[in-house]
Amino acid sequence: MIVAVAFVPITAVDDALDVLNDPQKGVLPELQPVVDWLEDNYIGRLNRNGSRRRPIFPVAMLNMYDRTINGLDRTNGNAEAAHRRLQSVLQMDHPSIWTLICSLRQVQKERDILYEQMMAGHAPTAKWWQRVLSQIAGAADADCLNNKRLLLFCYSCVNLLRFLLQEYYKKIRRYGNRKGCPVSFLTERYVLN
């Protein structure tokens, strides 16, 4: 109920807060500190004359009503993905300025190539397990494609394979790529049980 305040029109935020503060229809007493924090930081406390104090952050910063109606992003997932992409290229926490510049150029070059491919009509590359699933589905005959149990089984096999590979790479990172790190420990531990 408290989260829904972000999706109320800005003109109706005061009414929504009144509903939250209502003793009978409002939130539980244990959640009242959260409502108080919301009122202090994003809405503003009510003054004696009926007006509201200026909040620490503007109401528009919290409010997602207009963004939802217009179909815009409601989160910063794109920025986080770009940061993760840059971090994977840098592979360090505190790079020098020249390393940062070279990495930014590399990431920009990759993004430009991807943009050009999309503008040319090419679909983005699928993840490896999606490619395996499509190959399994393509190899099966028409009767098997209608068999949901078979496809679910294939999907679970791909997920198991993905999990086993992750475990294997964890072992390699931990112990190094030695002969003493066989794949058999995975099959003994997870598949045969």
Residue with tokens 């990495």: 103
Among 59, 86, 119, the domain-final residue is 119
**Spatial CA neighbour of 107 closest among 130, 129, 125, 84:** 84
> Per-residue pLDDT for 50 more than 70?
yes
What distance in Å separates the CA atoms of residue 98 and residue 92, rounded to the nearest whole number?
Answer: 13
Do 137 and 174 fall into the same domain?
Answer: yes
147-161 pLDDT, tens digit each:
666 666 666 666 777
How many domains does the structure of the chain reveal? 3
Token pair of 187, please?
A: 């099959």
Boundary-marking domain end, from 119, 152, 181? 119
Q: Please indicate, yes or no, whether residues 15 and 64 belong to a single structural domain of this protein.
A: yes
**What secondary structure does DSSP assign to 85-140, as a single string?**
HHHHHH-SSS--HHHHHHHHHHHHHHHHHHHHHHHTTPPPPPPHHHHHHHHHHHHS
Read off the pLDDT of each residue in 58-84 and give the average, rounded to a whole number. Answer: 81
Q: 18 and 63 share a domain?
A: yes
Domain boundary among 119, 151, 181: 119
Task: Give the domain extent around 181.
Answer: 128-191
pLDDT at 86: 87
Pair 85, 135 in one domain: no
Q: Which of 164, 113, 154 is nearest to 131 (CA)?
A: 154
Do residues 29 and 52 share a domain? yes
